Structure 1
Amino acid sequence: MGFLTHAISVLIAVIAIAFTVFVNYPPPPESPILYQWRTSGKYYEFNGYDIFYKDEFGKGNELINATILCLHGFPTSSFDFYKVWPHLKKTFKRVIAVDFLGLGFSSKPRYHHYSVFEQSDLVENFLKHLGIREVHVWSHDYGDTVAQELIARQNEGKEKITLKSVSMMNGGIFPGIYRPFLVQKLLRFPIIGTILGKLANYYMFSTNIISVFGEETCPTVAELYDMWAIIRYNDGYRISGEILYYMDERHMNEDRWVGALKETKIKIHFIYGALDPINPESFVDFYKKIIPNPIIDVLRNCGHYPHLELPDIVFNLYQKFIRNHILS
C-alpha cells in the first residue's frame, strides 16, 4: 500500500511538472512579415484597453476618396488580410484593419464579458478616433457578425458611421446551419473550457485550423506558426472560451442580425469557400433564399479562409462586386 501511495504521489508530481512546463512553453518567434505587420501598426485606447490597428494610405483609382475597413475572424487577427493588403492599397485611398478586443495584438483581458455589441462599439469608436465617417467593410467569420450588428444599427438610424457596402466571407451568419467544432462547444463550458484553454498548444491548434482549409489550399508551416504566435500573444489562447460567447449571441440575436441583412438598403456581397466544414454547402441555397437580390460568389476549391487560401482570386471577386454594384 505504501508503494502504491508513493507511486501515485510521484505520478502526480510528474504530471504537475509536465503541466507547468506545457502551459508555460514559449510562443514561436514572429516571422519577418508578421514582425513588419505588428511594428508598422498603431494602438488606440478603448475603454482602458489597447487596440491594435493598421492604417495606411493607398494609391486609389476609381475609389480615390473611399476607405475600406477589414474585420477579421476568430481566433486569428487582422493579419489574415495581409495577402490582399497590397491589392487593397492599389484600389482604395485608405486601407484600415483593426484587431478586436481579446484577439490579435490588442489587449486580452481575462474574466471579461466579451460581446459582439462591445466589439461593434469598438469599431464605431475606432473610426471616430480616426475621423472617418464612411467606409466600405470587408469582413470574415466573427467580423461578419460584427458587421451584421453595424448594419442593424444603420437600419435603425442609430449608426455612428455609414457603411457604403459590406462584403462578407464564410461567417456563421445563419446560426441554424452553422456547425461549430466540438472543441468550440467544449470551450464554452466553465470548468472544461478553462482547462482546455490552458492546455491549448500549437499541435492542437494546427490540427483544427488545417481542417477548415481546402485540401489544396492549406497554410504552410510558417503561416501556422504566425497564427499561433498571434494567438499566444498576451496569453490569448486562455480566453478563447470567453470570446466564443459570440456563438450564443448569434442564436439570441438571430432575428435582429439575420433581419438586418434582409432589410438593409446597403449592398451586401458574400464570398463563400465551399469546402468549409463549419459552414456546410447548404449555406449557398439558404443564403439565396433568405437574402433579397443575393450577390454571392462560390469558390469550390476553397475552405473557411478565402482571403488566405486564394487571395488573388478572392480580391478579383471583391473588386468585381465594387465595380458592378457600387460604382455602376
Structure 2
Amino acid sequence: MSTILNVLIGVLAVGAAVFLNYPAPPQSPIVYQWQSPGKFMQYKEKNIFYKDELGNGTGTVLCLHGFPTSSFDWYKLWPALKRKFGRVVALDFLGLGFSDKPRFHKYSIFEQASIVEELLQTLQTNKVHILAHDYGDTVAQELIARHLDAAEEKKNYVNVMSLCLLNGGIFPAKHHPRLMQRILVLPLVGTILSKFINYYVFRNALGEVFGPETWPTTAEFRDFWGIIRHNDGYRVLGSLLSYLEERKTNEERWVGGLQKTVLPVHVIYGPADPVNPPEFIEYYRAVIPKPSMTVLPENIGHYPQLEAPEATADAYISFLETISS
C-alpha cells in the first residue's frame, strides 16, 4: 500500500512540475504585429511596455486597458483611433501585458496612475483625451481626482481634454466581481491557486463576461492567454486584484471625482455584462451630474471594444464631435 501511495505522490509531483513549468503558447502573428513596434519605459527599475503611433487626425488619445488583459484589447479599435487622432498611445500596466510582472509586489491603482503620468512626461505630451476600460477606468478616476487636486492647489497638471469610460467598476456598490476574482484575491489561497490557472480555466473565467453571441474565437482566447503567460503573469493576478478593495476604500475620492469634474465625460456601456449589470445604467444617471452615455445592443458584454469595435468607435467619435462643436 505504501508503495502505491509513494508512486501516486511521485506521479502527482511530476504532473505538478510539468504543469507549473509548461511553456506559454507561441506568439501569434497578430500579437507579434502589436508588440513589435512597441517600446519600453523605465519606472523605478521596472519595464513598462507602451505603444505610441502617429495618426491622421488631431490631438492625442491615451488608452487604458482592463484586468486581466492588456493594451492588446485596443487592437480592433486602433485603426479608427488613428484616423481620428494625430497620436495614439497605450500602455500595459505594471503586472499585465508585456510590462514587468514582479512577484510579491504591492500593486496599487495609485502607482499605476503615477506610471501613466511618467509615461506622458516621457512622451512630452501634456494634453490628452483618455479612453479607458475596466481596471483602466479606475486608474482614470484617480487621474481625474489628481486633476481636481491640482486645480484646487493651483498647480499644473496633465491637461485632460475628455474622458470616455467603457464597462468598468466605477461604482463599487454596483460592481459584481466574478467567482475567480473573489477566490484569487484571498490571502495565501489566491497566491497558491493562481499558480494552477491554465488556459481552460482562464478561457471559461474570461468568457463569462462576454455577451453570449460575441465570445472571442479560440485564436483570440489563446492570444489573451499567451500575453498573460508572458513573464509568468498569471502568478501575480491575485496581487493585482487588490484594486477591488482599493475601489471601496477610495470610493468618495474616485466617484466624487466624476461628480465634481467639469471635464466632458462619457460612458460606452455593453449591457450583457455580469460584472456591471444593467442596474448600472440608472445608477450612473442618478449619481453623475449631466450624465452622458451610449448603451450598446443588448448582446454586447464587458468588452465593447472587442465585441463591437465599429459601434464602440462610432459612439466614441460621436462623443468627441459633441465636445468639439
- What is the TM-score of this pair, normalised by structure 1? 0.96
Which blocks of at least 5 consecutive residues in structure 1 are unaligned? Answer: none
Q: Which runs of 5+ in 2 are unaligned?
A: none
SS at structure 2 position matched to 1:52: strand
Give the drift of 1:25. Answer: 1.3
Separation in 2, partners of 1:70, 1:296? 18
> Matches of 2:232 and 2:169 in 1, distance apart?
26
Using the TM superposition, give the Cα deviation of residue 160 of structure 1 relative to its aligned residue in structure 2, in angstroms.
3.1
- Cα separation, partners in 2 of 1:118 and 1:224, compared to 1, 3 Å: same
Deviation at 1:79, TM superposition (A): 0.5
Of 284, 287, 291, 1:287 maps to 284
Q: Equivalences for 1:1-328 in 2 at 5 Å?
A: 3=1, 5-60=2-57, 64=58, 66-157=59-150, 160-299=157-296, 300-324=298-322, 326-328=323-325
2:23 and 2:286 map into 1 onto residues whose CA distance is: 48
Distance 1:255 1:159, change over 3 A: farther
Distance 2:145 2:233 in 1: 29
TM-score (norm 2): 0.97
Q: What is the RMSD computed on CA atoms of the aligned residues?
A: 0.9
Q: In the alignment, is the contact (CA less than 8 A) between 1:103 and 1:231 conserved in 2? A: yes
Per-residue deviation, 1:304: 0.4
- d(CA) in 2 for partners of 1:50, 1:176: 34
Deviation at 1:194, TM superposition (A): 1.5
Give me the whole-angstrom Cα distance separating, in 1, the residues matched to 2:232 and 2:89.
Answer: 25
Q: State how many pairs are aligned.
A: 320
Shift of 1:6: 2.3
Equivalent position amino acid for 1:214 in 2: G
> Which amino acid in the other structure matches residue 206 of structure 2?
I
- Conserved 8 A contact 1:144-1:171: yes
**Percent identity, aligned pairs only?**
53
Q: Spell out structure 1 runs of 4+ moving beyond 4 A.
A: none
- For residues 25-74 of structure 1, the C-alpha deviation after alignment (integer angstroms, 9 at most, x for no partner) is 111111111001111101110111111000000011xxx2x100000000
Could you tell me how far apart the structure 2 residues matched to 1:192 and 1:287 are?
34
